[in-house]
Structure 1
Amino acid sequence: MTATIEARQAVTAATQPVRFHQVGKAFGQGRRAVVALDQVDLEVAVGEFVCLVGASGCGKTTLLNLVAGLDQPTAGGIEINSSRPAVVFQEAALMPWLTAAGNIELPLRMAGVPKSVRRTKAAELLELVRLGGLGDKRPHELSGGMRQRVALARALASTTDHTGSGAGKPSLLLMDEPFSALDAITRDVLQGELLRIWQATGTAILFVTHDVREAVRLGQRVVLLSSRPGRVVRQWDVNGLTGPAEIAAVDEVNAALRQVISSHAA
């Protein structure tokens, strides 16, 4: 599942954890087929934070599933040059019988990482997400925000290569509306925490959200998909925007999103 494509800038494949080349995805066959994605060209650079926005059903989550290997494209190709991509979903999806540390260790245990290394890594990641000292707590003993922090730490553990097969490859984190189920205050706090963790780890992030304000606040680049079938229609460089410039960017992206939705409804 690879393809040779020309990058938007003079960037080699080795600097891009993932590249989409004319990617299409249809569900079903014949007249009943539903085309979710069509001719998607997109790349994410090492350490880049890219946010995907678009109307419901435009294929944002489908794109993440294709990168994660949970599904396969029906057209085009995806070039992945990263250690194992990890996914953080809207729900934390933690194993209720495992402790926070146990959940974080799970992908490492499945990869055959020795227990002492797993425990050390889990402790480091708990500190990174500011849950140090809570590794023995089970999911039901944690708040929703804390559970999402554990899910993030588990994903970061999953992107760590301990086998040597991914040596030298950049890491990639896929996030599918991870904060949408949280209250506004907790969501705001975790957005700030995610930025801190991203800056500390240098992990590339492909982040799906319905919230344009969230996309502009978090992302370096915002990518707008058309309504079904999803195609890349516009991109904005929003890196480092604050104050009036940030507000203007939010307004511009929202206006483009409304136009996409309106044209589809018409």
Structure 2
Amino acid sequence: MTSVLQAPANADHVVRLTGVHKSFGNARRSVTALHGIDLTVRPGEFVCLLGASGCGKTTLLNLIAGLDEPSHGSIDLRGSRPAVMFQEAALMPWLTAAGNIELPLRLAGVERTARRERARELLDLVRLGNAGGKRPHELSGGMRQRVALARALASALGASDDASATSLLLMDEPFSALDAITRDVLQSELLRVWESTGAAVVFVTHDVREAVRLGQRVVLLSSRPGRIVQEWTADESTQDGLDLAEVINRRLREVISDHASA
């Protein structure tokens, strides 16, 4: 896996996957999760990875994050190391909200005053400026996810005031466990934060409408082994008067049906 951690300001991508394959197991017992993935994410771009359960979306995210390595192919990562936000907030229960946000900065060796100031800025960014002293059990599910988002941004952006366009945030169905109203609010908040920071986002979901609402680009993966079967852009025109979500829904159903009949 190729990893280039410092990128020039005019880099044309934050991550580029070329011919990426991923298999698990050995010989006859091996299972191919991903096959021939070619994907480029540009600085500041919001890309949604969409597909049925088990299609390899999370595996692909783990490869980009460096939590696993491809069996074949290459991944060229530019700028700072990606930050990852999972479905569960996974906050440290003994730390306050501010302490959780400071944690990646502390591990990176950022000086105390700088990391506390950064935590305050990020709490304000996710509209939790008055909750920095609260512990996770004192927060609602939506508030915990906001803290998790702020912590991920702290990891991606560091203590610098420059929200670098080479920063990358990886999100693995972070709102799927929340109720519909909270999910709707946090989707809006995520878009606001993304526009404020300039970080690139790769967002995994199985919800077509969530993908269309959030993504500048929607990338559809086939069922196992995961291949990129089609992409759409948010401003793409559609045929027959259908909205983009319905067009993608139809294509997703075709992909699932083709896999079931194979």
Identify the match of residue 142 of structure 2 among 145, 169, 174.
145
Structure 2: which amino acid aligns with 1:217? Answer: R
Which residue pairs with 2:52 in the alignment?
55
Percentage of identical aligned residues: 68
Q: Distance in 2 between matches of 1:169 and 1:187?
A: 26
Counterpart of 1:207 in structure 2 is: 203
Counterpart residue number, 1:78: 75
* Cα distance between partner residues in 1 of 2:246 and 2:217: 15
Give CA deviations for 1:200-238 in whole Å, capped at 9, x if unaligned. Answer: 111100000010000000000000001100010000011
The residue correspondences of 1:28-177 to structure 2 (distance < 5 A) are 28-161=25-158, 170-177=166-173
Tell me the C-alpha RMSD between the 2 structures: 2.1
C-alpha separation in 1, matches of 2:207 and 2:104: 30
Contact persistence 1:220–1:240 (CA under 8 A): no
| Equivalent residue number for residue 182 of structure 2 | 186
**One-letter code of the match for 2:78?**
N
Q: State how many pairs are aligned.
A: 253
Displacement after TM superposition at 1:37 (Å): 0.2
Distance in structure 1 (CA, Å) of the matches to 2:214 and 2:190: 8
Residues 162, 143 of structure 1: alpha-carbon distance in 2 compared, 3 angstrom cutoff: closer
Deviations 1:118-141 (A, max 9, x none): 100000000000000110000000
Q: Contact between 2:165 and 2:198, CA under 8 Å: does it hold in 1?
A: no
- Work out which of the residue numbers 243, 251, 261 in structure 1 matches 2:256: 261
Aligned to 1:226: 222
The unaligned stretches of length 5 or more in structure 2 are: 4-8
Equivalent-residue separation in structure 2 for 1:202 and 1:75 (angstroms): 31
For residue 255 of structure 1, give the secondary structure of its aligned residue in structure 2.
Answer: helix
User: Secondary structure of 2:219's match?
Assistant: strand
Q: Report the 3-state secondary structure (helix = DSSP H, G, I; strand = E; otherwise coil) of the residue aligned with 1:38.
A: strand
Deviation at 1:55, TM superposition (A): 1.1
Distance change in 2, residues 1:124/1:239 (3 Å): farther
Residue 231 (structure 2) aligns with:
235
Cα distance 1:158–1:264, how it changes in 2: closer, same or farther (>3 A)? same
- 2: CA distance, partners of 1:168 / 1:228: 35
Question: Which aligned segments of 4 or more residues in structure 1 are displaced greater than 4 angstroms?
Answer: none
Which residue in the other structure is 1:7 paired with?
none
- In 1, distance between residues paired with 2:143 and 2:108? 25
Give the TM-score normalised by structure 1: 0.91
Q: How big is each residue's C-alpha offset from its partner over 1:23-47, in whole Å with a ceiling of 9 and x where there is no partner?
A: 0000001010010000000010010
CA contact under 8 A between 1:13 and 1:81: conserved in structure 2? no
Instruction: Classify the secondary structure of the residue corresponding to 2:110.
Output: coil
Shift of 1:84: 1.5
CA shift at 1:161, angstroms? Answer: 4.0
CA contact (8 A) 1:24 1:37 kept: yes
Task: Give 3-state SS (helix, strand or coil) of 2:39's partner.
Answer: strand
1:86 and 1:147 map into 2 onto residues whose CA distance is 17
* TM-score, length-scaled by structure 2: 0.92
The separation in 2 between residues aligned to 1:265 and 1:172, in whole angstroms, is: 35
Contact 2:25 2:31 in 1 (8 A): yes
One-letter code aligned to 1:2: T
